[in-house]
Amino acid sequence: MFEDFMVNTWIAATVVAAVAGVVGFFVVIRGAAFAAHALPLAAFPGAAAANLLGVNPLSGLLVFSALGVAGISQLARRARRDVATALSLVMLLGLGALFLSRTTEYFQAVFALLFGQILGVSNAELWSLFALGSASIALIVILFRPLLLSSVSPELGETMGVSARLIEVLFLAVVGLATAMALPVVGALLVFSLMVGPASAARAMVDRPLPAMLLSAGLAVVMVWASIALSFISDWPIGFFVGALSAIAYVAGRVWSSASLWRRAARSAAVGAQ
């Protein structure tokens, strides 16, 4: 499990999980889970297009992530965000089906893009992860206050000069960037699990934004580490453990939140009885 060939796996998983946890915190508090699910799937055709053209798959992922962001933000001006997200996803997946039909690439590569290839991360891919991950975290740090304000109270944000539309576009760009970074490692379907599960649990456990965001990143990292270890021991797919642990984290967060409310209510009743 800690052999030389696994070193890049542990490093890549840690970087991807930490970024997903940080970005996922805002995905949860902004109610943007559908967009976080759609953007990885919308970026997936970019890798197919890159393969068809014989260029670096990361280039295709970035381009199609940008197209997904542009499609959602533009269509959302004339329709609800969930409708705009669905329309953008359908259009890009249609292009993906076309690109896949024209390629002769072995379908194992397609499977890897959907479910990840975390055990085959090269040094070059690792440097790309560091660069895109650092950019994603830097953008979150820069946008932290306006993002938080527009997420909690868009009306108050507007009165303080925070443009809700601009923040939405910038936030989708960060999600798209994090998606493009993580897609070759954990796949289109597992990015969503890492963004939503740990963040939902952290949001239920902690009230303050910054500690909740850091807890989300920590939970995502622990989840991925546990998934790699369990996969190595059982020879089951890592994706199964990531999805299962994500669901368990969400349930644990809800139980913690309900228990905290019950304890507060019990204390208030005890104080009132005195």
Angle between helices 57-75 and 33-53 (to 10 degrees): 140
pLDDT for 1 equals 58
- Per-residue DSSP letter, 2: -
DSSP string, 168-187: HHHHHHHHHHHHHHHHHHH-
Q: Which two tokens stand for residue 53?
A: 């053209």
Q: Which residues contact 229 (CB under 8 A, 6 or more apart)?
A: 1
pLDDT for 107 equals 54
Compute the chain's Rg from CA coordinates.
20
Residue 137 CA to residue 18 CA, distance in Å, equals 9
pLDDT for 81 equals 67
pLDDT for 18 equals 92
Q: Does domain 4-273 have CATH number 1.10.3470.10?
A: yes
pLDDT for 4 equals 61
- CA 200, 240, 118, 48 dihedral sign is negative
Mean pLDDT by 10 residues, the chain (274 residues): 70 89 89 76 74 74 76 67 73 76 62 66 80 90 88 77 81 83 72 85 88 93 90 82 87 84 74 63
Distances (CA, A) of 205 to 145, 176, 216, 239, 240: 21, 27, 10, 25, 25
